[in-house]
Amino acid sequence: MSVLLFTGHRLDWLGRATPRFPPELVPVVLERLSSTLDDLQATEPIRAGVCSLAAGSDLLFAQACMSKGIPLHVFLPFRLPDFIAESVSYLKSDADRTPWESLLHAALAYAAQVCFTSEAYYNPADDQFEQCNHAMLDHARLVAAADHALVQALVFVQEDQASLPGGSTQFLDLLHQEHIPVLNLSPTLTA
């Protein structure tokens, strides 16, 4: 049995100079997440998926977990209205047709557990995203220990990206430091 910890890139914001996760990759990434979950479940049951819910790979992971009946444990770094504004409904390409906010509300309704690591307003000067990442890792370990399960990480991260505080690349660095097994679905996929 395993507890699956997820982190990954958000969908590219409008005007991003170097594409990292353009909207045309959404169906490809969702299919890759779904098939990877099938492969993992074929070898051992997944006790829970632990993630946040930003537009992009987080919400696609949550959607894949919901479709497979995998319990979801959700972590948000600050108040929900601020999270939606900062991480879900930000300006994206006109090509994006994914209903991110609807997916967020569906995931929140489905989740076995929702944890806000801070009730504060979003403050870019604080390390709220980094604290959320640490809380997700601590929680995954706690759930795994209760069931004598393994913590594994499934990530969608370009490892050559700058490691920004609280970002997916920094979280991936932490997972490596903590010797958490990582499976990277590499966002260099093509549509």
3-state helix, strand, coil in the chain (%, to 5): 45, 20, 40
Contact (Cβ atoms closer than 8 angstroms) between residue 156 and residue 9: yes
Q: What is the mean pLDDT of residues 58-66?
A: 98
Does the residue 48 lie in any domain?
yes
Residue 102's domain is classified under what CATH number? 3.40.50.450
Locate 150 and state its tokens.
């393994």
**Spatial distance between the Cα atoms of 87 and 89, rounded to a whole number of angstroms:** 6
Range of the domain at 165: 2-184
Is 189 within the bounds of a domain?
A: no
What's the pLDDT band for 120 if we cut at 50, 70, 90? Answer: very high
Going by pLDDT thresholds of 50, 70 and 90, the confidence category of residue 94 is confident
The mean per-residue pLDDT over the stretch 59-72 comes to: 98
Residue 117 lies in a domain: yes
The continuous run of DSSP H or E covering 133 comes out as helix 128-146
Distance CA 8, CA 30 (A): 12
What is the value of pTM for the model shown?
A: 0.94
pLDDT at residue 19, as a whole number = 84
Q: What is the pLDDT of residues 145-166, one digit of tens each?
A: 999 999 999 999 876 665 566 6
- Measured in degrees and rounded to the nearest 5, phi and psi for residue 165 equal -55, 125
pLDDT at 174 over 70: yes
